[in-house]
């Protein structure tokens, strides 16, 4: 797949995540103790993967981390103003953990792949 397709899928996914972040919380598909944090982790790990596949240089990876973190912060700020949603610094922490986890896994993958 070309970078254009990954960019398209990224923006569709980002829009869907933003929509779900503002939807009433009774639509959450996973509802247990840390289910919300798990949802954040999966969402931002996926966004990191898609954004990385659409722009793969090291400088762009650093920019992508910042952009995704700011997107997570935007979601939390908007949720603070929506009556039926709540904002949490822990959600932003789960977003950042997912972003950095993907970057770590990807770096290890590239190291192992090119080490041979």
Mean pLDDT of the 3-28 span: 86
70, 92 Cβ separation under 8 angstroms: no
Range of the domain at 91: 3-22+35-115
| Local structure of residue 32 (DSSP, 8 states) | S
76, 87 Cβ separation under 8 angstroms: yes
Phi and psi at residue 87, in whole multiples of 5°? Answer: -100, 145
In a domain, 27, yes or no: no
* Cα→Cα distances 78→22, 71, 82, Å: 8, 11, 7
Mean pLDDT of the chain: 86
- The rounded distance, in Å, linking the Cα atoms of 61 and 114 is 18
10, 50 Cβ separation under 8 angstroms: yes
In a domain, 29, yes or no: no
In a domain, 100, yes or no: yes
pLDDT band at 23 (very low <50, low <70, confident <90, very high): confident
Per-residue pLDDT at 97 = 96
Using a cut of 0.95, tell me whether the model's pTM lies above it.
Answer: no
In a domain, 28, yes or no: no
Largest CA distance in the chain: 54
In a domain, 30, yes or no: no
Task: Give the number of domains in the chain.
Answer: 1
pLDDT digit string, tens, across residues 41-92: 999 999 999 999 888 677 788 889 999 999 999 999 999 998 888 888 999 9
Per-residue pLDDT at 70 = 96
């Amino acid at each position: 797949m070309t970078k254009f397709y990954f960019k398209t899928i990224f923006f569709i996914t980002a829009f869907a995540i933003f929509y779900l972040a503002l939807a009433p919380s009774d639509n959450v598909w996973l509802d247990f103790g840390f289910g919300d944090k798990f949802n954040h982790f999966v969402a931002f790990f996926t966004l990191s993967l898609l954004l990385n596949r659409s722009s793969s240089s090291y400088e762009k990876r650093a920019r992508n981390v910042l952009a995704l973190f700011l997107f997570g912060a935007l979601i939390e700020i908007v949720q603070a103003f929506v009556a039926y949603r709540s904002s949490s610094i822990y959600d932003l922490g789960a977003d950042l953990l997912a972003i950095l986890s993907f970057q770590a896994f990807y770096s290890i993958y590239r190291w192992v792949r090119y080490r041979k």
